[in-house]
A = this chain, B = another copy of it.
Amino acid sequence: MATIIQNGIIVTASETFQADIKIDNGKINMISNQITGSNEDTILDATNKYVLPGLIDPHTHLGIKGTLDAFETGTRAAAAGGITTIINYTDPDNSQTFLEDLTEWKEKAQNALIDYGFHSIINKCDKDVLEQISKLPDEGVTSIKLFMAYKENMVNDEELYLLMKAAKKAGVVTNIHAENGSVIDCLIEEALSSNNTKPIYHAYTRPPATEAEATARALRIAEITGAPAYIVHITCEEALKEFVRAKEKGVNAFGETCPQYLVLNEEYLKQEEKEAVKYICSPPLRTNKDQEALWHNIKSGSISTIGSDHASHPYVNGKENGINNFTKAPNGLPGIESTLLLLYKYGVCEGKISMSKLVEITSQNPAKIFGLYPQKGSLNVGSDGDVVILDPNKSSIITKASQKQSTEYNVYEGMEVQGSIEYVLSRGKVIVKDNKVVGEPGSGKFLYRNKFTEQSQEGRL
């Protein structure tokens, strides 16, 4: 009844070695140089293959109204891509408190194929909200998200201060979408009034300076409050400079980027409008120079995690609305299932990062930051048996035809990737086999995450 992975190349956040792994009752309970199983055991041969801890995607938007992937299809696609845990964003619903809203989200997620947690988006600040933050950890949620852009959701500096302070006190990490929405709105108005409506103006009206400014400001408030701040989707060199400066001063800052910012660029927004609208996301795609800066900061350890920021906006009645006016297209890209193979091909195979770094940023670091470690994010004895077996020798082409996610398009269409995800295990159970998802809806569990403490960051201190 145990699962045994034999003869694989095990990769941890700092080492690579060959050994067998045994998983029993959902937990890893042995690593040894030769583990033989009984007839009852599932034996997986990983000879010449990498054995990685299952990926944790800390930035997904499943189940958002108007998008195509709710939890079943979304987590199926995730599983196919080697992801065994997601932390999904709620959508603020101002008709109820955000704690009530959280309860609904837990229900929505019940048909997930993989384990999941939530970040609570908060878009206002009053006594009730501050009070509820203190109760969030009891609900198993230890992170909130604040926006510095988007008029309907953005908080001002006073609110940022009060919410981050309350979050810190509660052991809750504050995730921040860092763009200066006020300045961006001015730039958009200027663009539209000059009839500059093409998709590339989405990028031109959200220049790096607006992201860098908001990043710096958020981290100043983190500095003053002492609160841990997690900057989501960092996209450019300008913002990275601010981020690194704060981190060097000792600010409790964590940075995330996304595969799209590493492998796509603003040229995609300069295509024919029909095509370009698919690539509208915020912050926007940047330049190749920014890509290099992101890779460099992953390697140097400044950037801690990779999130897909998966948002499955439809093309019809969605992206296409932006064709004559970039502001009408919904912001966000689908891509949950491609993270691992993109990073393996364009990061590891191209010499930008090591296998250990890949494991660190896609699994161990999100686990540590978001209170899931050591249950998740590790292949050590005692951890959940969430495992990916990757055959490094096969390659493939990303296409809509073979994708699991529900959108009518794939933003990585035609890109070559390296590696084949042979098996994915969730708590010892095979959920992907030979690239086919065999896990069952509802087998994923809600994860009660631990509070943030500095001590929980062991290994990065």
Proximity bits, A332-361, B CB within 8 Å = 1, else 0: 000000000000000000000111110010
Complex partner residue of A15 from B13, B22, B210, B248, CB under 8 angstroms? B13
Q: Say if the beta carbon of A374 comes within 8 Å of chain B.
A: yes
List the B side residues contacting A157 at CB < 8 Å. Answer: 180, 182-183
Q: Say if the beta carbon of A6 comes within 8 Å of chain B.
A: no
A220-B224 contact, Cβ under 8 Å, with A158-B183, A382-B18: no
Stretch at the interface among A28-36, A86-94, A306-314: A28-36
Distance (whole angstroms) from the CB of A47 to the closest CB of chain B: 16
Decide: A186 and B162 in contact? CB cutoff 8 A.
yes
Decide: B212 and A224 in contact? CB cutoff 8 A.
no
Decide: B31 and A32 in contact? CB cutoff 8 A.
yes
Q: Say if the beta carbon of A299 comes within 8 Å of chain B.
A: yes
Q: What are 11 residue pairs bridging A and B, where the CB atoms are less than 8 Å apart in the complex?
A: A15-B458, A17-B378, A19-B382, A29-B32, A162-B186, A183-B220, A213-B216, A213-B217, A216-B217, A248-B300, A353-B461
A182-B161 contact, Cβ under 8 Å, with A30-B33, A354-B461: yes
List the B side residues contacting A300 at CB < 8 Å. Answer: 248
List the B side residues contacting A223 at CB < 8 Å. Answer: 209
A210-B186 contact, Cβ under 8 Å, with A356-B458, A381-B32: no
Q: Say if the beta carbon of A111 comes within 8 Å of chain B.
A: no
Q: Say if the beta carbon of A14 comes within 8 Å of chain B.
A: yes
Complex partner residue of A31 from B18, B221, B357, B381, CB under 8 angstroms? B381
A17 to B182, CA, bound (A): 44
- Would you list the 6 A-B pairs with minimal beta carbon distance, nearest first? A157-B182, A354-B461, A30-B32, A19-B381, A213-B220, A158-B182
A33-B458 contact, Cβ under 8 Å, with A15-B12, A183-B161: no
Distance (whole angstroms) from the CB of A221 to the closest CB of chain B: 6
Q: Say if the beta carbon of A364 comes within 8 Å of chain B.
A: yes
A1 to B12, CA, bound (A): 30
Q: Say if the beta carbon of A271 comes within 8 Å of chain B.
A: no
Decide: A14 and B13 in contact? CB cutoff 8 A.
yes
Q: Say if the beta carbon of A287 comes within 8 Å of chain B.
A: no
A353 to B455, CA, bound (A): 11
Proximity bits, A182-210, B CB within 8 Å = 1, else 0: 11011100000000000000000001011
A226 to B129, CA, bound (A): 39
Chain B's closest residue to A377 (CB) is: B15
Q: List 5 additional A-B contacts (Cβ < 8 Å) besides A12-B14, A248-B300.
A: A19-B380, A31-B381, A32-B381, A157-B182, A158-B186
Proximity bits, A317-341, B CB within 8 Å = 1, else 0: 0000000000000000000000000
List the B side residues contacting A354 at CB < 8 Å. Answer: 457-461
Distance (whole angstroms) from the CB of A449 to the closest CB of chain B: 18
Distance (whole angstroms) from the CB of A297 to the closest CB of chain B: 11
Distance (whole angstroms) from the CB of A368 to the closest CB of chain B: 9
A16 to B224, CA, bound (A): 31
A33 to B457, CA, bound (A): 23
List the B side residues contacting A30 at CB < 8 Å. Answer: 30-33
A69 to B16, CA, bound (A): 37
A360 to B459, CA, bound (A): 9
List the B side residues contacting A220 at CB < 8 Å. Answer: 180, 183, 209-210, 212-213
Decide: A459 and B356 in contact? CB cutoff 8 A.
yes
List the B side residues contacting A414 at CB < 8 Å. Answer: none
Q: Say if the beta carbon of A153 comes within 8 Å of chain B.
A: no
Decide: B224 and A210 in contact? CB cutoff 8 A.
yes
Chain B's closest residue to A190 (CB) is: B165
A381 to B14, CA, bound (A): 14
Proximity bits, A356-376, B CB within 8 Å = 1, else 0: 110010001000000000100
Q: Say if the beta carbon of A156 comes within 8 Å of chain B.
A: yes
A266 to B347, CA, bound (A): 34
Distance (whole angstroms) from the CB of A357 to the closest CB of chain B: 6
A12 to B459, CA, bound (A): 9
Q: Say if the beta carbon of A442 comes within 8 Å of chain B.
A: no
Q: Say if the beta carbon of A301 comes within 8 Å of chain B.
A: yes
Distance (whole angstroms) from the CB of A70 to the closest CB of chain B: 35
List the B side residues contacting A248 at CB < 8 Å. Answer: 300
Proximity bits, A5-48, B CB within 8 Å = 1, else 0: 00000101111111100100000011111100000000000000
Interface positions of A from 418 to 461, Cβ below 8 Å from B:
457-461
